Amino acid sequence: MITCFGETMLRLSPPGAYRIAQAQSFDIVFGGAESNVGAALANFGEDVRWVSKMPENEIADACLRWMRSFGMDVSKVVRGGSRMGVFYLEKGASLRPSKVIYDRKGSAISEAQPGDFDWDAILEGTDAFFFTGITPAIGETLPGIVEDALTVCRAKKIPVFCDINYRPTLWTPDIAGAAMRKLIRGLCTLVANEEHADLLLGVKSDKTGDDKLYDIARKLCETYEIGRVVLTLRQSHSSDDNTVSAVMYDSVTGEFVKSKEYRVHIVDRVGGGDALSAGLIYCTRLGRSLQDTIEFASAANALKHSVHGDVLMASAEEVQRLASSSDGTVRMIR
């Protein structure tokens, strides 16, 4: 059982390439970094539990219905509070950037209290725990609640995975850095990027190219006693076309690997990093090699860009097929 903890919001987006000002309807999905990771893992065939706090209304009911459709266990979701967070996604196109407008203030989970979560019960049977840097950012009580969860993880020797996922609209680098430095200590695997390593965690390097990435990953492991670090890379050629890849470092073996680069034509940009985290957890639990792990995780990231919504809708076989393809060409399957 993999347990994911965080906020999930109703996502409202104009159809196709419409701007918000032009929309007469919004397409809806539910999205949140931790449930995105959980749903992708469930699609890979894993047992997943998603934990959060949600209000008692039909919107939250619809969200739980959505979570269950992946096969995720939602029996530990706490009900209460006043509202679900909402975010508006206006998909970009060509030279027009995508925009996200958050309306998450006052959401049930952001006002959760430590007593809401009985982590001993919640983590019963769990053998991997996942959260992102968004969870402690959404409310004042949240860093403490995450800390509670991590304390139980330590006691139960549950490996913890975390994506640093810094959101400047939620907190400042100073506050975020102070909180995250505490929470990431002793992680099994941390996902970050060069910018956030510097900004929040105070780790940078004067080198260039792969040496620089190696340097940053190694220092992060050393400084925060982390088992493995993944650094993600993205180039945005336009709103329609990006190139993504990742590197990974293992502090035990000292191994450093790079994934293939994928040029992706974008159907939906949101959730790429979450798909990567899901791939990472999936391969880690299977004990696959570092190279295989980063290839699978990067392929999951790349593939996510071709799928509508926040969640990677793909089987582990589909991800592996892309990860294993020598030339990336894609032929119709029939």
Among 61, 118, 211, 255, binds a copy of itself (CB under 8 A): 61
Part in contact with a copy of itself (CB under 8 A); list of ranges 112-120, 191-199, 277-285, 312-320: 312-320
Nearer to a copy of itself, 103 or 147 (CB): 103
Q: What is the rounded distance in angstroms from the CA atom of residue 260 to the CA atom of residue 296?
A: 10
Part in contact with a copy of itself (CB under 8 A); list of ranges 18-26, 124-132, 191-199, 220-228: 18-26
Q: What is the rounded distance in angstroms from the CA atom of residue 73 to the CA atom of residue 68?
A: 7
Per annotation, catalytic residue among 250, 274, 292, 310 = 274
Q: Looking only at residues 170 through 229 of this chain, which bind a copy of itself when binding is defined by CB under 8 A?
A: none
CA 328 from chain centre, in angstroms, equals 25
Nearer to a copy of itself, 185 or 237 (CB): 237
Q: How far apart are the first and last CA of the chain?
A: 35
Q: Looking only at residues 84 through 113 of this chain, which bind a copy of itself when binding is defined by CB under 8 A?
A: 84, 86, 88, 90, 92-103, 105-106
The amino acid sitting at 271 is: G
The amino acid sitting at 123 is: L
Quick one: which of 169, 176, 149, 174 has its CA closest to 104? 169
Q: Which residues pair with 9 in a beta bridge?
A: 31
Among 45, 65, 151, 324, binds a copy of itself (CB under 8 A): 65
Contact 228, 188 (CB under 8 A): yes
Part in contact with a copy of itself (CB under 8 A); list of ranges 80-88, 171-179, 190-198, 212-220: 80-88
Quick one: which of 285, 180, 272, 294 has its CA closest to 226? 180
Please confirm, yes or no, whether 274 is among the known catalytic residues.
Answer: yes
Contact 136, 10 (CB under 8 A): no
Among 145, 187, 314, 316, binds a copy of itself (CB under 8 A): 314
Q: Looking only at residues 288 through 307 of this chain, which bind a copy of itself when binding is defined by CB under 8 A?
A: 302-303, 305-307
Q: Which two tokens stand for residue 176?
A: 């975020």
Nearer to a copy of itself, 34 or 111 (CB): 111
Residues serving a catalytic function are 274
